[in-house]
Structure 1
Amino acid sequence: MVIDFEMYKPGQDAVSKDEGELNVAKRQISSVVKSHKNLIDVVVYDALACNSIWINHRKDLGIDAIVRAKNNNNNSLRLAKKTANKAEAVEVWKDEQGFEKVHVYQSTFTMDNVEQPLRFVKFAIKHKNKLRSQIMIVTTCMDMTQKTLFKIIRARWDIENSIFNNLKRDCGFEHCFVHGGNAIEAVLPLIFIIRYHEVIFS
Protein backbone atom coordinates (compact mmCIF):
# COMPACT_ATOMS: atom_id res chain seq x y z
CA MET A 1 0.00 0.00 0.00
CA VAL A 2 1.46 3.33 -1.07
CA ILE A 3 0.42 6.06 1.36
CA ASP A 4 2.58 8.93 0.09
CA PHE A 5 5.44 9.95 -2.19
CA GLU A 6 7.80 12.88 -2.30
CA MET A 7 9.32 14.66 -5.28
CA TYR A 8 13.00 15.53 -5.60
CA LYS A 9 13.43 19.31 -5.51
CA PRO A 10 16.37 20.60 -7.58
CA GLY A 11 18.13 23.45 -5.83
CA GLN A 12 16.82 22.38 -2.44
CA ASP A 13 18.06 18.79 -2.30
CA ALA A 14 21.74 17.93 -2.54
CA VAL A 15 23.29 17.53 -5.98
CA SER A 16 24.84 14.14 -5.17
CA LYS A 17 22.40 11.27 -5.70
CA ASP A 18 22.92 9.75 -2.24
CA GLU A 19 22.57 12.95 -0.26
CA GLY A 20 19.67 14.10 -2.42
CA GLU A 21 17.80 10.84 -1.89
CA LEU A 22 18.27 11.05 1.88
CA ASN A 23 17.02 14.63 1.94
CA VAL A 24 13.88 13.60 0.07
CA ALA A 25 13.42 10.56 2.34
CA LYS A 26 13.71 12.67 5.50
CA ARG A 27 11.15 15.11 4.17
CA GLN A 28 8.79 12.31 3.17
CA ILE A 29 8.92 10.37 6.43
CA SER A 30 8.35 13.60 8.37
CA SER A 31 5.27 14.31 6.25
CA VAL A 32 3.91 10.77 6.58
CA VAL A 33 4.34 10.66 10.35
CA LYS A 34 2.61 14.03 10.64
CA SER A 35 -0.28 13.06 8.36
CA HIS A 36 -0.75 9.50 9.65
CA LYS A 37 -0.12 9.67 13.38
CA ASN A 38 0.28 6.33 15.16
CA LEU A 39 0.37 4.47 11.82
CA ILE A 40 4.14 3.96 11.59
CA ASP A 41 6.29 2.32 14.25
CA VAL A 42 9.32 1.29 12.17
CA VAL A 43 10.93 2.66 9.01
CA VAL A 44 13.14 0.35 6.92
CA TYR A 45 15.83 1.61 4.55
CA ASP A 46 18.81 0.34 2.57
CA ALA A 47 22.46 0.93 3.46
CA LEU A 48 22.32 4.54 2.26
CA ALA A 49 20.61 5.41 5.58
CA CYS A 50 23.15 3.63 7.79
CA ASN A 51 24.38 6.87 9.32
CA SER A 52 23.84 9.11 12.31
CA ILE A 53 21.85 11.72 10.33
CA TRP A 54 19.08 9.27 9.40
CA ILE A 55 19.03 7.50 12.76
CA ASN A 56 18.81 10.79 14.66
CA HIS A 57 16.07 12.03 12.32
CA ARG A 58 13.81 9.05 12.98
CA LYS A 59 14.41 9.52 16.74
CA ASP A 60 13.05 13.06 16.46
CA LEU A 61 9.92 11.56 14.86
CA GLY A 62 9.47 8.94 17.59
CA ILE A 63 9.83 5.87 15.36
CA ASP A 64 12.32 3.01 15.17
CA ALA A 65 14.67 2.26 12.28
CA ILE A 66 15.99 -0.87 10.59
CA VAL A 67 18.70 -0.22 7.98
CA ARG A 68 20.97 -2.43 5.93
CA ALA A 69 24.66 -2.30 6.83
CA LYS A 70 27.24 -2.88 4.13
CA ASN A 71 30.72 -1.47 3.71
CA ASN A 72 30.71 1.60 5.90
CA ASN A 73 33.39 4.05 6.97
CA ASN A 74 31.88 4.44 10.43
CA ASN A 75 34.51 3.18 12.91
CA SER A 76 31.95 2.24 15.56
CA LEU A 77 30.03 0.10 13.07
CA ARG A 78 33.21 -1.66 11.94
CA LEU A 79 33.94 -2.49 15.58
CA ALA A 80 30.38 -3.83 16.04
CA LYS A 81 30.86 -6.11 13.02
CA LYS A 82 34.13 -7.45 14.43
CA THR A 83 32.52 -8.08 17.81
CA ALA A 84 29.62 -9.99 16.24
CA ASN A 85 31.92 -12.00 13.97
CA LYS A 86 34.01 -13.19 16.94
CA ALA A 87 30.99 -14.16 19.01
CA GLU A 88 29.02 -17.40 18.99
CA ALA A 89 25.75 -17.42 17.05
CA VAL A 90 22.86 -16.35 19.29
CA GLU A 91 20.42 -18.45 17.23
CA VAL A 92 20.61 -21.09 14.49
CA TRP A 93 17.55 -21.77 12.33
CA LYS A 94 17.12 -24.79 10.10
CA ASP A 95 14.78 -24.77 7.09
CA GLU A 96 13.90 -21.13 7.76
CA GLN A 97 11.98 -19.56 4.85
CA GLY A 98 13.43 -22.00 2.35
CA PHE A 99 17.07 -21.76 3.49
CA GLU A 100 19.05 -24.75 4.68
CA LYS A 101 20.42 -22.89 7.71
CA VAL A 102 20.65 -19.36 9.10
CA HIS A 103 23.16 -18.36 11.81
CA VAL A 104 22.32 -15.17 13.69
CA TYR A 105 25.04 -13.01 15.29
CA GLN A 106 24.53 -9.74 17.11
CA SER A 107 26.22 -7.07 19.19
CA THR A 108 25.24 -3.77 20.80
CA PHE A 109 27.18 -0.60 20.06
CA THR A 110 27.01 3.19 20.04
CA MET A 111 27.37 4.83 16.63
CA ASP A 112 29.39 8.02 16.36
CA ASN A 113 27.14 11.08 16.92
CA VAL A 114 24.19 8.93 18.09
CA GLU A 115 23.37 8.92 21.81
CA GLN A 116 21.10 5.87 21.79
CA PRO A 117 22.69 2.38 21.84
CA LEU A 118 22.11 0.46 18.61
CA ARG A 119 21.86 -3.20 17.74
CA PHE A 120 23.94 -4.80 14.99
CA VAL A 121 22.60 -8.11 13.64
CA LYS A 122 24.12 -10.38 11.01
CA PHE A 123 22.21 -13.21 9.35
CA ALA A 124 24.65 -15.70 7.79
CA ILE A 125 22.61 -17.72 5.30
CA LYS A 126 23.38 -21.14 3.84
CA HIS A 127 21.17 -21.78 0.82
CA LYS A 128 19.92 -25.21 -0.19
CA ASN A 129 22.17 -25.10 -3.26
CA LYS A 130 25.11 -24.71 -0.80
CA LEU A 131 25.76 -21.07 -1.74
CA ARG A 132 26.20 -18.64 1.14
CA SER A 133 25.13 -15.04 1.66
CA GLN A 134 24.62 -12.64 4.51
CA ILE A 135 22.35 -9.80 5.54
CA MET A 136 23.60 -7.22 8.04
CA ILE A 137 21.42 -4.62 9.71
CA VAL A 138 21.61 -1.83 12.27
CA THR A 139 18.45 -1.18 14.24
CA THR A 140 17.06 0.83 17.13
CA CYS A 141 14.61 -2.05 17.83
CA MET A 142 16.36 -3.48 20.87
CA ASP A 143 13.63 -5.94 21.92
CA MET A 144 12.34 -7.15 18.55
CA THR A 145 12.99 -10.85 17.92
CA GLN A 146 15.64 -11.85 15.40
CA LYS A 147 13.04 -13.71 13.31
CA THR A 148 10.87 -10.60 13.04
CA LEU A 149 13.88 -8.52 12.02
CA PHE A 150 14.76 -11.14 9.41
CA LYS A 151 11.24 -11.13 7.94
CA ILE A 152 11.12 -7.33 7.82
CA ILE A 153 14.47 -6.83 6.09
CA ARG A 154 13.73 -9.58 3.55
CA ALA A 155 10.29 -8.09 2.82
CA ARG A 156 11.96 -4.75 2.14
CA TRP A 157 14.32 -6.45 -0.32
CA ASP A 158 11.32 -8.00 -2.08
CA ILE A 159 9.81 -4.52 -2.51
CA GLU A 160 13.09 -3.35 -4.05
CA ASN A 161 13.29 -6.31 -6.43
CA SER A 162 9.63 -6.53 -7.36
CA ILE A 163 8.00 -3.11 -7.24
CA PHE A 164 10.88 -0.76 -8.05
CA ASN A 165 12.29 -2.95 -10.81
CA ASN A 166 8.84 -3.51 -12.31
CA LEU A 167 8.16 0.22 -12.36
CA LYS A 168 11.46 0.82 -14.15
CA ARG A 169 11.36 -2.14 -16.54
CA ASP A 170 7.65 -2.50 -17.34
CA CYS A 171 6.20 0.95 -16.74
CA GLY A 172 8.88 3.16 -18.23
CA PHE A 173 9.70 4.90 -14.96
CA GLU A 174 13.45 4.62 -15.34
CA HIS A 175 13.11 8.21 -16.48
CA CYS A 176 10.39 10.49 -15.13
CA PHE A 177 8.63 12.22 -18.03
CA VAL A 178 6.18 14.12 -15.83
CA HIS A 179 6.76 16.20 -12.74
CA GLY A 180 4.40 17.04 -9.93
CA GLY A 181 2.30 14.89 -7.66
CA ASN A 182 -0.98 15.21 -9.60
CA ALA A 183 0.67 14.28 -12.91
CA ILE A 184 2.31 11.16 -11.47
CA GLU A 185 -0.92 10.10 -9.75
CA ALA A 186 -2.69 10.36 -13.11
CA VAL A 187 0.02 8.65 -15.19
CA LEU A 188 0.62 5.64 -12.91
CA PRO A 189 -2.94 4.24 -13.06
CA LEU A 190 -3.02 4.89 -16.81
CA ILE A 191 0.16 2.85 -17.27
CA PHE A 192 -1.23 0.02 -15.11
CA ILE A 193 -4.46 -0.03 -17.17
CA ILE A 194 -2.51 -0.19 -20.43
CA ARG A 195 -0.23 -2.94 -19.13
CA TYR A 196 -3.25 -4.90 -17.85
CA HIS A 197 -4.93 -4.78 -21.26
CA GLU A 198 -1.71 -5.78 -22.99
CA VAL A 199 -1.50 -8.88 -20.77
CA ILE A 200 -5.20 -9.77 -21.20
CA PHE A 201 -5.29 -9.37 -24.97
CA SER A 202 -1.82 -10.60 -25.89
Structure 2
Amino acid sequence: MKNTEGKTTHCFHSGAVMSTVGMGPKLVIGFEMYKPGKDAVAKDEGELSVGKRLISSVVKSHRKLIDVVVYDALACNSIWINHCKNLGIDAIVRAKNNNNNSLRSAKKRVNKSEAVDIWEDEKGFEKVEVYESTFTMDNVDQPLRYVKFAIKHTNQQRTQIMMVTTSMDMAVKTLFKIIRARWDIENSIFNNLKRECGLEHCFVHGGKAVEAVLYLIFIASNIMQLFLLRRLRNHSTTQREMVRLLLKGLYLLKYRAELVFSSS
Protein backbone atom coordinates (compact mmCIF):
# COMPACT_ATOMS: atom_id res chain seq x y z
CA MET A 1 0.00 0.00 0.00
CA LYS A 2 1.42 3.38 -0.97
CA ASN A 3 -0.99 5.47 1.04
CA THR A 4 -3.58 4.23 3.51
CA GLU A 5 -5.34 7.60 3.65
CA GLY A 6 -8.54 6.93 1.73
CA LYS A 7 -10.20 9.05 -0.90
CA THR A 8 -13.93 9.43 -1.23
CA THR A 9 -16.49 10.74 -3.69
CA HIS A 10 -19.54 12.79 -2.77
CA CYS A 11 -22.33 13.69 -5.16
CA PHE A 12 -24.69 16.67 -5.26
CA HIS A 13 -27.08 18.15 -7.82
CA SER A 14 -24.38 19.42 -10.22
CA GLY A 15 -21.90 16.60 -10.07
CA ALA A 16 -19.56 14.54 -7.91
CA VAL A 17 -16.63 15.62 -5.75
CA MET A 18 -13.66 13.49 -4.71
CA SER A 19 -11.87 14.48 -1.54
CA THR A 20 -9.36 13.20 0.98
CA VAL A 21 -10.43 11.62 4.26
CA GLY A 22 -8.58 11.12 7.52
CA MET A 23 -5.85 13.24 9.07
CA GLY A 24 -4.49 16.30 7.33
CA PRO A 25 -6.15 18.98 5.22
CA LYS A 26 -9.57 18.24 3.76
CA LEU A 27 -8.91 18.77 0.07
CA VAL A 28 -11.03 18.43 -3.05
CA ILE A 29 -8.92 16.46 -5.52
CA GLY A 30 -11.43 15.98 -8.31
CA PHE A 31 -14.81 17.05 -9.65
CA GLU A 32 -17.09 15.75 -12.38
CA MET A 33 -20.27 17.35 -13.73
CA TYR A 34 -23.49 15.48 -14.43
CA LYS A 35 -24.08 15.15 -18.16
CA PRO A 36 -27.77 15.35 -19.13
CA GLY A 37 -28.71 12.70 -21.63
CA LYS A 38 -25.66 10.59 -20.75
CA ASP A 39 -26.11 10.02 -17.02
CA ALA A 40 -29.25 8.28 -15.83
CA VAL A 41 -32.08 10.40 -14.44
CA ALA A 42 -32.48 8.01 -11.48
CA LYS A 43 -30.43 9.46 -8.59
CA ASP A 44 -28.57 6.29 -7.55
CA GLU A 45 -27.74 5.12 -11.04
CA GLY A 46 -26.77 8.60 -12.19
CA GLU A 47 -24.61 9.20 -9.12
CA LEU A 48 -22.72 5.96 -9.63
CA SER A 49 -22.15 6.76 -13.30
CA VAL A 50 -20.71 10.18 -12.46
CA GLY A 51 -18.62 8.67 -9.67
CA LYS A 52 -17.09 6.10 -12.03
CA ARG A 53 -16.19 8.79 -14.55
CA LEU A 54 -14.71 10.95 -11.79
CA ILE A 55 -12.47 8.28 -10.31
CA SER A 56 -11.27 7.30 -13.79
CA SER A 57 -10.32 10.90 -14.47
CA VAL A 58 -8.49 11.34 -11.15
CA VAL A 59 -6.55 8.10 -11.52
CA LYS A 60 -5.56 9.04 -15.05
CA SER A 61 -4.39 12.53 -14.03
CA HIS A 62 -2.75 11.54 -10.73
CA ARG A 63 -1.66 7.95 -11.15
CA LYS A 64 0.41 7.74 -7.96
CA LEU A 65 -1.91 9.82 -5.81
CA ILE A 66 -4.59 7.27 -4.98
CA ASP A 67 -4.61 3.59 -4.14
CA VAL A 68 -7.72 3.33 -1.94
CA VAL A 69 -11.19 4.78 -2.50
CA VAL A 70 -14.02 4.68 0.05
CA TYR A 71 -17.70 5.06 -0.83
CA ASP A 72 -21.05 4.62 0.87
CA ALA A 73 -23.40 1.66 0.45
CA LEU A 74 -24.57 2.84 -2.98
CA ALA A 75 -21.32 1.45 -4.42
CA CYS A 76 -21.60 -1.96 -2.75
CA ASN A 77 -22.07 -3.79 -6.04
CA SER A 78 -20.06 -5.59 -8.69
CA ILE A 79 -20.15 -2.61 -11.10
CA TRP A 80 -18.21 -0.29 -8.77
CA ILE A 81 -15.89 -2.97 -7.42
CA ASN A 82 -14.94 -4.18 -10.91
CA HIS A 83 -14.42 -0.58 -12.02
CA CYS A 84 -11.98 0.07 -9.17
CA LYS A 85 -10.25 -3.24 -9.82
CA ASN A 86 -9.74 -2.35 -13.49
CA LEU A 87 -8.18 0.98 -12.41
CA GLY A 88 -5.74 -0.83 -10.14
CA ILE A 89 -7.03 0.63 -6.85
CA ASP A 90 -8.68 -0.95 -3.81
CA ALA A 91 -12.29 -0.23 -2.94
CA ILE A 92 -13.81 0.11 0.54
CA VAL A 93 -17.61 0.40 0.63
CA ARG A 94 -20.27 0.35 3.31
CA ALA A 95 -22.55 -2.67 3.31
CA LYS A 96 -26.16 -2.21 4.39
CA ASN A 97 -29.30 -3.91 3.13
CA ASN A 98 -28.33 -5.43 -0.18
CA ASN A 99 -30.10 -7.66 -2.69
CA ASN A 100 -26.86 -9.44 -3.61
CA ASN A 101 -27.28 -13.09 -2.60
CA SER A 102 -23.57 -13.67 -2.03
CA LEU A 103 -23.35 -10.63 0.25
CA ARG A 104 -26.34 -11.79 2.28
CA SER A 105 -24.70 -15.20 2.69
CA ALA A 106 -21.48 -13.57 3.89
CA LYS A 107 -23.44 -11.48 6.38
CA LYS A 108 -25.16 -14.57 7.82
CA ARG A 109 -21.86 -16.41 8.07
CA VAL A 110 -20.19 -13.54 9.92
CA ASN A 111 -23.13 -13.16 12.31
CA LYS A 112 -22.66 -16.79 13.39
CA SER A 113 -18.89 -16.59 13.75
CA GLU A 114 -16.62 -15.66 16.67
CA ALA A 115 -14.94 -12.27 16.87
CA VAL A 116 -11.47 -12.24 15.30
CA ASP A 117 -10.40 -9.29 17.47
CA ILE A 118 -11.71 -7.24 20.40
CA TRP A 119 -10.54 -3.71 21.21
CA GLU A 120 -11.13 -2.34 24.71
CA ASP A 121 -11.32 1.43 25.31
CA GLU A 122 -10.88 2.19 21.61
CA LYS A 123 -10.76 6.00 21.46
CA GLY A 124 -14.22 6.95 22.66
CA PHE A 125 -15.74 3.47 22.55
CA GLU A 126 -16.03 1.05 25.43
CA LYS A 127 -15.49 -1.97 23.19
CA VAL A 128 -15.24 -2.83 19.49
CA GLU A 129 -15.66 -6.43 18.32
CA VAL A 130 -14.34 -7.31 14.87
CA TYR A 131 -15.84 -10.05 12.71
CA GLU A 132 -14.46 -10.99 9.32
CA SER A 133 -15.00 -13.40 6.46
CA THR A 134 -14.00 -13.77 2.81
CA PHE A 135 -16.53 -14.35 0.06
CA THR A 136 -17.00 -14.06 -3.69
CA MET A 137 -19.56 -11.52 -4.86
CA ASP A 138 -21.71 -12.28 -7.86
CA ASN A 139 -20.04 -11.09 -11.08
CA VAL A 140 -16.74 -10.33 -9.30
CA ASP A 141 -13.86 -12.73 -9.98
CA GLN A 142 -11.60 -11.95 -7.04
CA PRO A 143 -12.42 -12.82 -3.39
CA LEU A 144 -13.60 -9.95 -1.18
CA ARG A 145 -13.43 -9.25 2.55
CA TYR A 146 -16.60 -8.72 4.56
CA VAL A 147 -15.85 -7.01 7.88
CA LYS A 148 -18.27 -6.11 10.67
CA PHE A 149 -17.42 -3.82 13.58
CA ALA A 150 -19.81 -4.26 16.53
CA ILE A 151 -19.39 -1.12 18.64
CA LYS A 152 -20.36 -0.60 22.27
CA HIS A 153 -20.33 3.11 23.09
CA THR A 154 -19.48 4.61 26.47
CA ASN A 155 -23.17 5.48 26.93
CA GLN A 156 -23.99 1.77 26.49
CA GLN A 157 -25.53 2.24 23.05
CA ARG A 158 -24.57 -0.33 20.41
CA THR A 159 -24.03 0.24 16.70
CA GLN A 160 -22.56 -1.69 13.79
CA ILE A 161 -20.44 -0.80 10.79
CA MET A 162 -20.38 -3.34 7.98
CA MET A 163 -18.12 -3.01 4.97
CA VAL A 164 -16.74 -4.80 1.94
CA THR A 165 -13.23 -4.30 0.58
CA THR A 166 -11.01 -5.64 -2.18
CA SER A 167 -7.92 -5.22 0.02
CA MET A 168 -7.09 -8.58 1.52
CA ASP A 169 -4.07 -7.49 3.59
CA MET A 170 -5.00 -4.09 5.04
CA ALA A 171 -5.09 -4.09 8.84
CA VAL A 172 -8.60 -4.07 10.32
CA LYS A 173 -7.75 -1.03 12.45
CA THR A 174 -6.82 0.87 9.29
CA LEU A 175 -10.11 -0.21 7.68
CA PHE A 176 -11.95 0.97 10.79
CA LYS A 177 -10.29 4.40 10.65
CA ILE A 178 -11.02 4.85 6.95
CA ILE A 179 -14.67 3.79 7.05
CA ARG A 180 -15.32 6.05 10.09
CA ALA A 181 -13.50 8.97 8.47
CA ARG A 182 -15.92 8.66 5.54
CA TRP A 183 -18.65 10.09 7.78
CA ASP A 184 -16.61 13.21 8.46
CA ILE A 185 -16.83 14.29 4.81
CA GLU A 186 -20.31 15.77 5.34
CA ASN A 187 -19.11 18.21 8.02
CA SER A 188 -15.47 18.80 7.19
CA ILE A 189 -15.75 19.32 3.44
CA PHE A 190 -19.20 19.37 1.89
CA ASN A 191 -21.02 21.45 4.49
CA ASN A 192 -18.01 23.76 4.76
CA LEU A 193 -18.11 24.33 1.00
CA LYS A 194 -21.79 25.25 1.23
CA ARG A 195 -21.64 27.44 4.36
CA GLU A 196 -18.29 29.16 3.95
CA CYS A 197 -17.51 28.97 0.21
CA GLY A 198 -20.85 29.70 -1.43
CA LEU A 199 -21.25 26.29 -3.08
CA GLU A 200 -25.03 26.27 -2.66
CA HIS A 201 -25.40 29.59 -4.51
CA CYS A 202 -25.66 29.68 -8.31
CA PHE A 203 -23.46 32.61 -9.33
CA VAL A 204 -23.78 32.10 -13.09
CA HIS A 205 -25.82 30.11 -15.59
CA GLY A 206 -24.57 27.99 -18.44
CA GLY A 207 -22.73 24.68 -18.25
CA LYS A 208 -19.14 25.85 -18.81
CA ALA A 209 -19.55 28.94 -16.63
CA VAL A 210 -21.01 26.92 -13.74
CA GLU A 211 -18.17 24.41 -14.01
CA ALA A 212 -15.55 27.19 -14.02
CA VAL A 213 -17.02 28.81 -10.89
CA LEU A 214 -17.14 25.46 -9.09
CA TYR A 215 -13.49 24.82 -9.86
CA LEU A 216 -12.59 28.29 -8.53
CA ILE A 217 -14.50 27.53 -5.31
CA PHE A 218 -12.67 24.23 -4.88
CA ILE A 219 -9.25 25.80 -5.57
CA ALA A 220 -9.90 28.61 -3.07
CA SER A 221 -11.07 26.10 -0.45
CA ASN A 222 -7.97 23.93 -0.94
CA ILE A 223 -5.63 26.92 -0.62
CA MET A 224 -7.36 28.02 2.58
CA GLN A 225 -7.25 24.49 4.05
CA LEU A 226 -3.53 24.17 3.30
CA PHE A 227 -2.81 27.61 4.77
CA LEU A 228 -4.71 26.88 7.98
CA LEU A 229 -2.96 23.54 8.43
CA ARG A 230 0.59 24.56 7.56
CA ARG A 231 0.73 28.09 8.97
CA LEU A 232 -1.81 28.09 11.79
CA ARG A 233 -1.73 24.52 13.02
CA ASN A 234 -1.29 25.59 16.64
CA HIS A 235 -4.07 28.18 16.52
CA SER A 236 -7.82 27.81 16.82
CA THR A 237 -8.65 30.40 14.16
CA THR A 238 -11.67 29.38 12.12
CA GLN A 239 -11.84 29.70 8.37
CA ARG A 240 -14.46 32.47 8.63
CA GLU A 241 -12.33 34.43 11.10
CA MET A 242 -9.28 34.01 8.89
CA VAL A 243 -11.15 35.47 5.90
CA ARG A 244 -12.35 38.37 8.05
CA LEU A 245 -8.78 39.15 9.14
CA LEU A 246 -7.53 38.98 5.55
CA LEU A 247 -10.22 41.39 4.39
CA LYS A 248 -9.40 43.72 7.28
CA GLY A 249 -5.72 43.60 6.34
CA LEU A 250 -6.45 44.45 2.71
CA TYR A 251 -8.62 47.38 3.82
CA LEU A 252 -5.88 48.75 6.06
CA LEU A 253 -3.25 48.53 3.32
CA LYS A 254 -4.41 51.78 1.74
CA TYR A 255 -3.54 53.62 4.97
CA ARG A 256 0.03 52.26 5.01
CA ALA A 257 1.82 53.37 1.88
CA GLU A 258 4.93 51.34 2.68
CA LEU A 259 2.95 48.11 2.28
CA VAL A 260 1.50 48.99 -1.14
CA PHE A 261 3.48 47.87 -4.14
CA SER A 262 3.97 50.60 -6.73
CA SER A 263 4.31 49.90 -10.44
CA SER A 264 5.48 53.45 -11.24
TM over 0.5: yes
Alignment of 1:1-202 (within 5 A): 1-168=27-194, 171=197, 173-174=199-200, 178=204, 179=207, 180-187=210-217, 189=220, 196=240, 200=244
Look up the SS of the partner of 1:122 in the other structure. strand
TM-aligned CA distance change 1:86 to 1:174, over 3 Å? farther
Work out the number of aligned pairs and report it: 199
Residues in 2 aligned to 1:169 and 1:69: alpha-carbon distance in whole angstroms? 30
The C-alpha deviation readout for 1:122-172, integer Å capped at 9, x for no partner, is 000000000011100000010111100000111111113432233345555
Q: CA deviation at 1:37?
A: 1.0
The C-alpha deviation readout for 1:85-118, integer Å capped at 9, x for no partner, is 1000000001112100000001110001100100
State which structure, 1 or 2, has the greater radius of gyration over its C-alpha atoms.
2
Q: CA deviation at 1:2?
A: 1.6
- Percent identical among aligned pairs is 73
Q: CA deviation at 1:38?
A: 1.7
Q: CA deviation at 1:79?
A: 0.5
Root mean square deviation, CA, Å: 2.2
TM-aligned CA distance change 1:176 to 1:66, over 3 Å? farther
Residues in 2 aligned to 1:18 and 1:177: alpha-carbon distance in whole angstroms? 27
Asked if structure 1 preserves the Cα contact closer than 8 Å seen for 2:131 and 2:149, the reply is yes
TM-aligned CA distance change 1:171 to 1:187, over 3 Å? closer
Amino acid at match of 1:167: L
Residues in 1 aligned to 2:197 and 2:135: alpha-carbon distance in whole angstroms? 42
The C-alpha deviation readout for 1:28-79, integer Å capped at 9, x for no partner, is 1001100001211111100000000000001110110000000111110000
Look up the SS of the partner of 1:3 in the other structure. strand
Asked if structure 1 preserves the Cα contact closer than 8 Å seen for 2:199 and 2:217, the reply is no
Which stretches in structure 2 are left out of the alignment for 5+ residues?
A: 1-26, 225-238, 246-264
TM-aligned CA distance change 1:175 to 1:115, over 3 Å? farther
Residues in 1 aligned to 2:36 and 2:160: alpha-carbon distance in whole angstroms? 36
Asked if structure 1 preserves the Cα contact closer than 8 Å seen for 2:144 and 2:164, the reply is yes
Amino acid at match of 1:144: M
Look up the SS of the partner of 1:95 in the other structure. strand
Q: Give the TM-score normalised by structure 2.
A: 0.69
Amino acid at match of 2:79: I
Which stretches in structure 1 are left out of the alignment for 5+ residues?
A: none
Q: Give the TM-score normalised by structure 1.
A: 0.89
